[in-house]
Every structure is written in C-alpha cells, then in structure tokens.
C-alpha cells in the first residue's frame, strides 16, 4: 500500500541546525578581544581566520551546489534572518567597547592598537558591510535602518544609495562605477571607485528629489541621515577614546571600505552587458556576475558569492539565493577570500582572470568578434 501521509514539517531545531553554519561570523568577535587583551602575535588572529582559515575550509569542503526552495516561507527563514538582525547590536558593542578599552590599554603600543583595529576593520568590512547589503534589500524599515547603522560605523553610508540606485540598475555598463573594467588593476580601480561612487550616489538621490520637485537639501534626502549617523559614531569614538579613539575608529573604517571594494572589484570584473543602442542595454542576467559555490566562504559571507542570482533576483533573501552551473553563469576558480588576495597582485590577477573573461565573451557574445572596450565606437556608453 502506498504511503500518502504528508511529510512531517521540519522542527524548529532542524531549521536552526541548517542555518547554524551561517552564524560562524559571531566567532570572530571574541577573536578581536583576544587581540586586544594579549597583543603581539595575536593581532594576526582575525585576518588569518577570515582570509586563510576559510580558504582552507573551502579547499577541504568543496562546493555547495544544492539550491534551497525559493518558495520557502518567512517562518522557514527565521534563523537565517536572525543572524543579520543580531549582528548590528553585536558590532556596535564590539566597536564601542574596544574604542573604550584599547586607547587606555597600557600593554599595547601604538602599532598594536592600530593592529587591533585593523582586525576590527576586517570584521566590519567582511561581515558588517555584507550584512548591511542583505538588510538594505529588505522591505522592513527596521532592517533598512540596521543597514544604515552598520554602514555609518564604517563611514560608507552612501553605499546604500549607490548600490540600490546605481549599481543594480547599471551593473556591467560604463555607468556603473563598481563594475571593474577588463584589465583594470585593483590599484587603479580603488581610487576611481572611492571618488565616483560618492558622486554617483549623491547624484542619484538628487535626481530622485528633482523628479518630485524638491532640492537636494530637502530633509527627505537620506544623506542627511547618513551624515547624522556618522557624526554620532565620531562623537562616540571621541568620548570613549579621545583623539586616539577617533584615529582608531577611522583605521577600522578604512580597512572595512578596502575589504568592500575588493569584493566589488571581483564580482563583475570584465563582464559587460550588450549595448542595444539608444543608451539601452540588455537585461541583467546570471551571466553578468561571477558566481562562486564554495561552501565555507558562503557561510561566512551569507551566500554573497551566489552573486549571479542576487543580481538576477535582488529581492531574494540570502538563504534562498540559487547557485548556477558553468553553463548558466561564469564561475570563479576560488572563493572570495582567495580571490581578494589575488586582486592585490594585479599581474597574478590578470593571469588567472583575463583568460576566463575572454572565454566568457566567446561563449556568450561570439558575434562580437574581437572585443572592443567601452567608450569605443563598437560599444559606446549610454547618452
């Protein structure tokens, strides 16, 4: 007789166990405090754990090619959502407590104090900005507010406006500052994107206000909120650690921004959407982002490496982002931790990635022939 009984729904414990690997980021918090308390060689713990440990785990654990059900209910995603909500108060507590402790810690010299906050910047950049990216895409006002707080902690609040209004709309075109051009080394990309992203973000918000008949100075401009939140953290840094606290706060912010832009650099390097004429481009498809299915680094980065699906379906929570085969989307040879380290050595980066970009063009756009860069007659930018 055939068993037609309905399947037993997963228990809350089983839901938690499936989500638990994505909570590994919390283990970085006590490591930052170990560095602050002991100094010396322990200053390397956070960078080594974030970059090298997860690279080793990727090599040992391999790829995760299974996909979650995109129709999963919000209740099924509770424990995945919870880590992104919890992280904001955890990061605030970590940053402010270390701004109080480190400047007065007599066992730490100046170099060691900077080293502690270098590690904090690795955390606030690798985890904090990444979680803010997840939160800013949600409909909940609370989640979007948490995203703003996380970005204010690294003095990069405009990233929300740039990402939502510019990057997702113009990715893989010359109007997107953070799409790295073919053969553009990170050391050229970085100063360019730092300058252009702020300008494009402010310009996008200003244009939105103008369409409503409002000036940029209207209080509905989110830049006022960005500046106010950043001022709060500057004031907190000064009140807790004096000018030393302000300096250390800026060190972690600089490291966090560097971590973010390294990731931005690799996510779309050399990929372009076909220009259709009249300033229009083909729709964004999975082929327009580099995909990586490496298991451990996707745990740390809450599936950010499933970037092809994120751009294809930006409203999906990280738990149900899909991974793609090499027939559907271009694949990175390693997870983000390894790829960001390669990006810091441009000749090595080009040796690894340029052949893959050329293969991508031959696969998806064979009719183009010898590829011409943007801003040429064969592939002009939009007007």
Domain for residue 163, yes or no? yes
Spatial CB neighbours of 6, under 8 Å, sequence gap ≥ 6: none
- How far apart CA 240 and CA 236 sit, in angstroms, is 6
Q: Report DSSP state, residue 178.
A: T
Spatial CB neighbours of 105, under 8 Å, sequence gap ≥ 6: 36, 113
Residue 10 reports pLDDT greater than 70: no
Domain for residue 383, yes or no? no
Average of per-residue pLDDT across 195-204: 96
Domain for residue 1, yes or no? no
Residue 334 domain boundaries: 12-368
pLDDT tens for residues 247-299? Answer: 999 999 999 999 999 999 999 999 999 988 888 899 999 999 999 999 999 99
Residue 20 reports pLDDT greater than 80: yes
Residue 378 reports pLDDT greater than 50: no
The pLDDT assigned to 9 comes to 55
Domain for residue 270, yes or no? yes
Domain for residue 171, yes or no? yes
Domain for residue 349, yes or no? yes
How many domains does the chain fold into? 1
Of 150-159, 160-169, 363-372, the range with the lowest mean pLDDT is 363-372
Phi and psi angles of residue 276, each rounded to the nearest 5 degrees, phi first: -100, 0
Are the C-beta atoms of 242 and 199 separated by less than 8 Å? no
Q: Which helix (H) or strand (E) holds 67?
A: none
The pLDDT assigned to 241 comes to 97
Are the C-beta atoms of 177 and 192 separated by less than 8 Å? yes
Domain for residue 379, yes or no? no
Domain for residue 330, yes or no? yes
Residue 3 reports pLDDT greater than 90: no
């Amino acid at each position: 007789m055939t068993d037609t009984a309905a399947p037993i729904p997963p228990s809350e414990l089983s839901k938690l166990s499936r989500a638990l690997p994505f909570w590994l980021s919390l283990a970085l918090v006590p490591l930052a405090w170990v560095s602050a308390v002991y100094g010396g060689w322990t200053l390397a713990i956070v960078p080594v754990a974030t970059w090298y440990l997860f690279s080793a785990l990727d090599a040992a654990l391999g790829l995760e090619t299974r996909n979650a059900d995109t129709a999963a209910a919000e209740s099924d995603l509770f424990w995945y959502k919870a880590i992104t909500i919890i992280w904001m108060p955890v990061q605030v507590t970590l940053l402010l407590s270390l701004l109080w402790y480190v400047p007065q810690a007599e066992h730490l010299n100046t170099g060691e104090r900077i080293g502690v906050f270098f590690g904090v910047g690795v955390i606030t950049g690798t985890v904090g900005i990444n979680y803010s990216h997840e939160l800013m895409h949600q409909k909940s006002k609370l989640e979007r507010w948490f995203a703003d707080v996380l970005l204010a902690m690294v003095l990069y609040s405009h990233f929300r406006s740039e990402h939502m209004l510019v990057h997702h709309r113009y990715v893989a075109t010359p109007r997107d500052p953070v799409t790295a051009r073919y053969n553009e080394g990170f050391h050229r990309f970085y100063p360019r994107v730092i300058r252009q992203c702020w300008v494009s973000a402010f310009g996008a918000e200003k244009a939105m206000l103008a369409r409503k008949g409002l000036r940029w100075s209207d209080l509905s401009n989110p830049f006022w909120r960005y500046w106010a939140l950043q001022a709060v953290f500057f004031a907190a840094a000064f009140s807790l650690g004096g000018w030393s606290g302000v300096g250390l706060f800026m060190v972690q912010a600089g490291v966090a921004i560097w971590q973010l832009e390294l990731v931005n650099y690799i996510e779309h390097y050399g990929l372009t959407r076909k220009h259709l004429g009249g300033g229009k481009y083909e729709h964004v498809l999975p082929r327009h982002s580099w995909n990586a299915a490496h298991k451990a680094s996707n745990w740390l980065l809450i599936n950010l490496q499933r970037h092809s699906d994120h751009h294809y379906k930006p409203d999906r929570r990280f738990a149900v982002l899909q991974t793609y085969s090499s027939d559907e989307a271009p694949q990175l040879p390693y997870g983000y931790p390894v790829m960001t380290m390669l990006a810091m050595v441009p000749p090595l980066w080009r040796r690894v990635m340029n052949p893959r970009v050329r293969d991508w063009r031959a696969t998806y756009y064979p009719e183009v022939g010898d590829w011409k860069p943007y801003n040429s007659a064969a592939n002009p930018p939009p007007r």
